[in-house]
Amino acid sequence: MNLQSSRVGVRRDHAVAYRRRRLRAVPVLRPGVTFFRTQAARRLGVALVLFAGGGCDPTSRPGDTRGYQSAARWEWHGRVVVRQDSSLGMTRLSLDTTTGGGDVGLARYDFNPAEGEGDEYSLTIALDFGRVPDLRQDVPYSIGPSPARIPAYGTVTCFCGPMKPDSVRGTFLLATRGLRQITGRVDATLYFTEWNSPARHVTYSLRQRIDLVK
């Protein structure tokens, strides 16, 4: 590529003519990708590598939990319903859309830490956003009991004694919001007490991406 100065309407004492310079493209990083061998191009290449290699996805981080999200529901006008049955030692979470309300979401994650060991479990989390348009992107909002910004509720299903939910505490970060889908990140700890042994408490971690669909 040859660059040359323009001679139209330019006074020589106010402008410096461009020097002709030959740029040579060389392969960098992998076949098929080339950058010009100039200082500015090298800085740009480093920035692109850093952007592509990390920090571009706010919903995923090293050390995340690895649950398989098997349910993803978002309702625009609803409320979270928590039903407890002490006779069966069960707690159920659902979204009620018959009595109005705000934006609510419900997600379920299935875990299988050691295949064949019988330690599979599932976590269900419900979030009462209020108004999703009021949430700013890439801002972690507290979730859990009052005074958290987003009320949150959780249940666990496992090969264990029945667990009574105590609370959910952590943060929710909104990454993207479309017309019918929310993508974000949950960093939370779910606290439980055994129904048949109130002195025994158990916690579960949920730190990963969350998708909710209308």
In the chain, the amino acid numbered 61 is R
Q: Is there a single domain that holds both residue 52 and residue 145? A: no
> Distance (Å, rounded) from C-alpha 65 to C-alpha 203?
14
Q: Is there a single domain that holds both residue 18 and residue 73? A: no
Residue 27, domain extent: 1-56
> Distance (Å, rounded) from C-alpha 174 to C-alpha 64?
17
Q: Is there a single domain that holds both residue 15 and residue 121? A: no
Answer yes or no: is 194 within a domain: yes
Q: Is there a single domain that holds both residue 35 and residue 106? A: no
* Residue that finishes a domain, picked among 56, 77, 100: 56
Answer yes or no: is 62 within a domain: no
In this predicted structure, what is the pLDDT of residue 52? 43
Q: Is there a single domain that holds both residue 127 and residue 203? A: yes
Total number of domains in the chain: 2
Answer yes or no: is 165 within a domain: yes
Give the chain's end-to-end CA distance (angstroms, integer).
52
Q: What is the pTM of this model?
A: 0.73
Q: Is there a single domain that holds both residue 143 and residue 194? A: yes
Angle at 94 between CA 91 and CA 98, to 5 degrees: 140
In this predicted structure, what is the pLDDT of residue 60? 93
> Which residues have a Cβ under 8 Å from the Cβ of 194 and sit 6 or more positions away?
161, 162, 163, 164, 200, 201, 202
Block residue for tokens 């669909």 = 213
Q: Is there a single domain that holds both residue 13 and residue 82? A: no
> Distance (Å, rounded) from C-alpha 37 to C-alpha 49?
16
Q: Is there a single domain that holds both residue 135 and residue 76? A: yes
Q: Is there a single domain that holds both residue 80 and residue 133? A: yes
> Distance (Å, rounded) from C-alpha 196 to C-alpha 164?
9
CA distances from 179 to 3, 212, 213, 214 (A): 47, 11, 9, 8
Q: Which residues pair with 78 in a beta bridge?
A: 102
Answer yes or no: is 63 within a domain: no
What six digits make up the tokens of 43?
A: 């800085």
Q: Is there a single domain that holds both residue 45 and residue 119? A: no
Answer yes or no: is 98 within a domain: yes
197-213/181-194 β-pairing: antiparallel
Per-residue pLDDT of the chain (214 residues; tens, 9 = 90+): 444 444 444 444 444 443 454 544 444 444 443 333 445 444 444 434 444 444 578 899 999 999 999 999 999 999 999 999 988 889 999 999 999 899 999 999 999 876 666 789 999 999 999 999 999 999 999 999 999 999 999 999 998 889 999 999 999 999 999 999 999 999 999 999 999 899 999 999 999 999 999 9
Q: Is there a single domain that holds both residue 95 and residue 191? A: yes
Cis amide prior to 162 (ω within 30 degrees): no
In the chain, the amino acid numbered 82 is V
Block residue for tokens 């606290």 = 191
Answer yes or no: is 147 within a domain: yes
